[in-house]
Amino acid sequence: MARQSPASARPPCRLYLITPPQIPDLDAFAGQLEAALDAGDVAALQVRIKPADEAAVRDAVQQLLPIARARDVAVLLNDRPDLARALGCDGVHIGQEDAPLAEARRILGPDAMIGVTCHADRDLAWDAAEGGADYVAFGAFHPTATKATTHRPELDLLTTWQETVEVPCVAIGGITVDNAAALARAGADFVAVSAGVWSYPEGPAAAVSRFTAVLAGASEEI
């Protein structure tokens, strides 16, 4: 998920997929995930189970990780660097109230991917970048039912970050096929999506296909 080139020639914005907070039927969801990943371009999958029952998290990672790996999709675990390491994930996504970045890096090692939630705060993002984060996440850009949010950044935060910092940025929060293009044009390297894919009326595979087309089109306009 690293940024490969400067802003003047940056690669297209890509989809960063997040699981639903609850997966009642893991076998059925695994089939949906396979179809979704086969339908378009997905950079990463974050396994985010809330509330975080460890047994449910383990079961989810053990079943979903091979599906993603077979398609060259990175797998990150939400919140738990210790469990991410134990389960062989590619990395972890941590919030401001989770394990400190330095602790996550100590647990996971230098090659793991670590992303940090920074809400609407460029200073938090700068600290994360300076501390060795592989990406920073800004949001929620739009209202979302996936989690409670109080921060609502402006699009120009993405633009400023893209123009001044090499560490990639992820836009998150209420992202759909209808509003993703504006985030990509503003400077997001990735858009993180959960309900916008899993609750898409035509199904997750159709959503991923549509996101792929929308993000590719937005990148051509930059």
Domain ranges of the chain: 11-221
Q: How far apart are CA 124 and CA 118, in angstroms?
A: 6
- pLDDT for res 147: 64
- pLDDT for res 2: 57
> Are residues 173 and 141 in contact, defined by beta-carbon separation less than 8 angstroms?
yes
CA 125 to centroid of chain Cα atoms: 15
Q: Which two tokens stand for residue 98?
A: 């989770």
Taking only the tens place, the pLDDT of each residue in 11-29 is: 899 999 999 999 999 999 9
Taking only the tens place, the pLDDT of each residue in 64-116 is: 999 999 999 999 999 999 999 999 999 999 999 888 999 999 999 999 999 99
> Are residues 152 and 141 in contact, defined by beta-carbon separation less than 8 angstroms?
yes
- pLDDT for res 88: 98
pTM: 0.94
Taking only the tens place, the pLDDT of each residue in 154-175 is: 999 999 999 999 999 999 999 9
State the pLDDT confidence band at 219, using cuts at 50, 70 and 90.
confident
- State the CATH architecture for 11-221: Alpha-Beta Barrel (3.20)
